[in-house]
Amino acid sequence: MSNITKQYFEQLDKQDSLAPLRQEFSLPESILYFNGNSLGAMPRGMTQRLQDFAEQEWGQQIVRGWVTQGWYQMPQRVGAKIASLIGAAADEVIVSDTTSVNIYKLAIAALDLKPERRKIITTSDIFPTDIYVLQGVSNTLPDRAELKMVESDQIIDAIDEQTALLVLSPVNYKTGELFDMAAVTAEAQKRGAMMLWDLSHSCGAHQVDLSGIGADFAVGCGYKFLNGGPGAPAYLYVAKRWQSEIQQPLTGWKGHANPFAMSPDYEPAEGITRMLCGTHPVIAMTCLEQAVDLFTTVDMAQVEIKSRQMGDLFIALAEQQCKEYGVTLLSPKESAKRGSQVSFQHAEGYAIVQALIAKNVICDFRAPDVVRFGITPLYQKYQDVWDAVAILTEILATESWQQQPSSPTSAVT
């Protein structure tokens, strides 16, 4: 790529069909926000929505709100909206609990569906809570479950006739590297295993087609690219073909076929509703719904195109401007292999992130040396990339660590 100019970024913003969406978000003027892959920015309508919730719903209706305000059906209703973003049918997704709790439910369900198999496989670089929960599953059921962690490139070889479940994130949260979801799902199923995708770093960020790839199970959080607010409720997906068979361990009253009969025997509800457990936090789900509604006018293909282009430009610009300062590209250079983030490595990564944040470029550090920039096309401008790289370059050029360049191989590539 030839020399890139600021004018080029300005031109891209002018042509960007997603640009008007930025106005739908509350973003402080002073910051460049590259951390929507950790916590999404707040949709601007949230303040009014919360005021309405307090004054007109909870404050006026109190307990009647469960019926009059549609609180009761929120897990199904918001789930259906999320389903449309991940290529699932409306009745295949439900909002419930946290990602961690939902992984637990589905992992034990998978062991029940594959009683002759005991192995659960994941990668050692998946988001750690996925590992911890799967360790919890094997601690709960030492005779029925065994967790095996492998490197990402060993995953296919690791699936054997003992494998009940494969748990993967399509996006490596550190590097941004993408799995080929269709190919891995097909391979897992060919070998008789179930496939569980953790979409926390995918849903709302790039195109996902669970029906198209014939996925079994999926989970994901509501607070990253979905912008549902800190700790927003999570969701889970169960393919229609498993819904009548599936049983899950956390059998609470909201998953009961008839909760208000208050019968002393648990009877699972029909369909995806049986995956619920306790009473859902209505206000947190209200925020998530408000945020997900912003996606209704959005074409995820357009989001993915803008994300890839912003990532490509970030990489090219970093190569152009801070090649000499020992910053190594960690993410795949090819956008088709990269999720909605760009990660670099630098020995002083932690200090660099602190310096960036001090200059209002909000990004994050991941141990031991990763500087991570999330890309969120709904509310970021192309110019944000230009400005962020300019500040990164300025920091690298003025701070003390420029005296210790890394090895030649660690230049931005």
Q: Closer to a second copy at the Cβ: 264 or 408?
A: 264
When binding is defined by CB under 8 A, the residue of 201, 256, 274, 372 that contacts a second copy is: 256
User: How many residues belong to the site for a second copy (CB under 8 A)?
Assistant: 87
CA distance 109 to 179: 24
Long-range CB pairs of 383-387, under 8 A, 24+ apart, other chains included: 383/6, 383/9, 383/10, 383/13, 384/32, 384/33, 384/34, 385/9, 385/310, 385/313, 385/314, 385/317, 386/6, 386/9, 386/317, 387/32, 387/361
Map the footprint of a second copy across residues 310-369, applying CB under 8 A: 357, 362, 364, 366-367
- Output DSSP code: residue 66: H
Q: How far apart are CB 397 and a second copy at their closest, in Å? A: 26
Q: How far apart are CB 215 and a second copy at their closest, in Å? A: 22
CA distance 201 to 127: 10
CA distance 253 to 264: 10
When binding is defined by CB under 8 A, the residue of 87, 136, 192, 214 that contacts a second copy is: 136
Q: How far apart are CB 83 and a second copy at their closest, in Å? A: 21
Structure tokens at 227: 């912008």
Q: Closer to a second copy at the Cβ: 153 or 265?
A: 265
> CB neighbours of 143 closer than 8 A, spacing ≥ 6?
none
Peptide bond into 408 cis (omega under 30): no
When binding is defined by CB under 8 A, the residue of 2, 3, 20, 63 that contacts a second copy is: 63
Indicate if 127 belongs to the active site. Answer: yes
Q: Which of 84, 298, 380, 106 is nearest to 210 (CA)?
A: 84
Interaction of residue 70 with a second copy, rule CB under 8 A: no
Q: Closer to a second copy at the Cβ: 61 or 211?
A: 61
CA distance 129 to 139: 15
Map the footprint of a second copy across residues 228-247, applying CB under 8 A: 229-234, 247
Indicate if 372 belongs to the active site. Answer: yes
Long-range CB pairs of 52-55, under 8 A, 24+ apart, other chains included: 53/283, 53/286
Q: How far apart are CB 349 and a second copy at their closest, in Å? A: 14
Q: How far apart are CB 331 and a second copy at their closest, in Å? A: 18
CA distance 81 to 84: 6
CA distance 350 to 366: 8
Q: How far apart are CB 234 and a second copy at their closest, in Å? A: 7
Q: Closer to a second copy at the Cβ: 89 or 283?
A: 283
Q: Closer to a second copy at the Cβ: 105 or 308?
A: 105
When binding is defined by CB under 8 A, the residue of 86, 137, 303, 329 that contacts a second copy is: 137
Map the footprint of a second copy across residues 16-55, applying CB under 8 A: 26, 28, 31, 33, 35, 38-39, 41-42, 46-47, 50-51, 53-55
Under a CB-based contact definition with an 8 Å cutoff, are residues 378 and 314 in contact? no
What is the DSSP code string of 205-254? TS---HHHHT--EEEE-SSSTT---TT---EEEE-GGGTTT---S---GG
Interaction of residue 252 with a second copy, rule CB under 8 A: yes
Binding mask 95-134 for a second copy (x = CB under 8 A): --xxxxx--x---x---------------x--xxx-xxx-
Interaction of residue 269 with a second copy, rule CB under 8 A: no
Using the rule CB under 8 A, give the single segment among 161-169, 180-188, 260-268, 398-406 that binds a second copy: 260-268
Using the rule CB under 8 A, give the single segment among 4-12, 14-22, 251-259, 347-355 that binds a second copy: 251-259
Map the footprint of a second copy across residues 364-393, applying CB under 8 A: 364, 366-367
Structure tokens at 306: 């803008």
Map the footprint of a second copy across residues 143-172, applying CB under 8 A: 149
Instruction: Check 34, 53, 173, 223 and give the catalytic one.
Output: 223
Q: How far apart are CB 225 and a second copy at their closest, in Å? A: 13
Q: Which of 366, 299, 305, 289 is nearest to 331 (CA)?
A: 366
* Residue numbers annotated as active site: 127, 198, 223-224, 372
